[in-house]
Amino acid sequence: MSNFSKVSIQNEARTELHDALGLTGAEVSVNILPKGASVPFVHAHKQNEEIYGVLEGEGTAYIDGETIKLTAGDWLRVAPAAKRRFSASETSGIKYICIQVKANSLEQYTAADATIE
């Protein structure tokens, strides 16, 4: 088995990378909403926080009753219990990445977790 996985994704409405890459510590999805569209449900999580990065376009996040405007380049962390839903603006679609990880599970990162050879 190889020490890496690679996949190429197209412009699909939602691509989950868990199965495609064999992820073991996170779920990552790439999402595209056309202008005026929204995720059709509000959701929260039991254990996982989500990190959203807006790659293109603009829209809004509705989090616990608050409306947050989003544009390309914005990043947003959402706690597990927060109730959330995402929408594209009426004039622009939105493309965003969602990274889902278990809250409070990060013990080492960057240089502390690296082995320099």
Q: Do residues 15 and 37 touch, judged by C-beta distance below 8 A? A: no
pLDDT in tens, 65-89: 999 999 999 999 999 999 999 999 9
* DSSP per residue, 5-54: ------S-SEEEHHHHHT-SS-EEEEEEE-TT-B-SS-B--SSEEEEEEE
pLDDT at 108: 81
Domain that holds residue 57: 28-103
In a domain, 117, yes or no: no
Please count the structural domains in the chain: 1
pLDDT range class, residue 110, cuts 50, 70, 90:
confident
In a domain, 12, yes or no: no
pLDDT range class, residue 1, cuts 50, 70, 90:
low
pTM of the full structure:
0.89
In a domain, 83, yes or no: yes
CATH number at residue 82: 2.60.120.10
User: Rounded mean pLDDT of the chain?
Assistant: 93
Average pLDDT over residues 25-34: 95
Q: Do residues 88 and 57 touch, judged by C-beta distance below 8 A? A: yes
Q: What is the amino acid identity at position 93?
A: G
Tokens coding 29: 């999805």
Tokens coding 58: 């603009």
